[in-house]
Structure 1
């Protein structure tokens, strides 16, 4: 199955000049979505995860069903102030300023093998920050995966973990 046929391209969203790849049309198609989850499962099995971490918010859609498929736990990596209870933050640089991602304190057992998931790898900044956050709390980040990768942005080059993507876009 060609999964690209189930992803809608939306020009000029969220601002002029940006071509947005929308997975809502993939999620609407149960067979294509099931194939996506199965292919992601195959892609991350070599990373031997104990736990899957999803990056807010479309990473939740990717990681949660995959965790269920593989019989693993799932944790959320969220923007600052979105998780209840004590959290552990990691602040990273953006082109203009900084951003912070957090996980709940105690969510990752020390030494747990964690794979990070999102829907899309673009510049790699948030996924890289998530790697650092998980390492900060004692996680062993064994890999990362996304449904789509914008290869022309070279986000993979920022990562020091094995990484897999199902679909690549060169422009």
Structure 2
């Protein structure tokens, strides 16, 4: 199977979302109906991580506008699969990372914020004693926007400037507008 990273890069700023359901990644992603609860379709991207991680990282890089990374000091890695993508991207780009984690995983001082998910509630924390930086948030999937919005708000509250967000998959019908540009490989 040929995986072409550059052909599918899209941003939320397009006037009409281009649903790229013919991208080769869709042949690998599993859709699990009624998980984690009835009425939710879960997009399982773990097969991509197992067999095509380099192509995924190439596709994420291709989704970014030229020159954007010159404006970024570090990547804001959102737990948990955002860690996978952000760490590989940081290595390739020579950038640092800020971790946005579940409660109790980071040493103090931390700031935290609760938020609603498509299927429940959660909380994110980040260390709030870091010097202000320009941050690109990185996560796997943008669904309702609760996690990324919370990550954005936590970064802003710690005096970081969020310049955008990068995700593998954007479920465009589930969320409203995001306060910064969202760069994505897949839209559904």
Into which bin does the TM-score normalised by the smaller protein fall?
0.7 to 0.9
TM-superposed deviation, 1:94: 6.3
> Which deviates further from its counterpart, 85-94 or 62-71?
85-94
Give the equivalent residue in structure 1 for 2:58: 38
Which of 22, 34, 52 is the equivalent residue of 2:75?
Answer: 52
The root-mean-square deviation of aligned C-alpha atoms, in Å, is: 2.1
The answer to whether the aligner puts 1:71 opposite 2:94 as a matched pair is yes
Which of 38, 52, 57 is the equivalent residue of 1:16?
Answer: 38
Q: Which has the higher helix share?
A: 1
Q: Which has the higher contact order (CA 8 A, sep 6+)?
A: 2
> Which deviates further from its counterpart, 127-136 or 80-89?
80-89
> Which deviates further from its counterpart, 76-85 or 119-128?
76-85
Which of 160, 167, 179 is the equivalent residue of 1:139?
Answer: 160
C-alpha distance in 1 between matches for 2:117 and 2:35 = 20
Task: In structure 1, list runs of 5 or more residues that go unmatched.
Answer: none
Task: In structure 2, list runs of 5 or more residues that go unmatched.
Answer: 4-23
Which of 145, 150, 153 is the equivalent residue of 1:129?
Answer: 150
C-alpha distance in 2 between matches for 1:60 and 1:51 = 13
Structure 1 runs of 4+ off > 6 angstroms?
94-98
Contact kept in structure 2, 1:86 and 1:105, CA below 8 Å: yes
TM-superposed deviation, 1:105: 3.0
Using the size of structure 2 for normalisation, the TM-score is 0.78
Using the size of structure 1 for normalisation, the TM-score is 0.85
Counterpart secondary structure, 1:28: helix
Aligned residues: 163
C-alpha distance in 2 between matches for 1:96 and 1:17 = 10
Residue by residue over 1:7-44, the C-alpha shift from the partner in whole angstroms, topping out at 9 and shown as x without a partner, is: 11112211122111111100111xx2111101212323
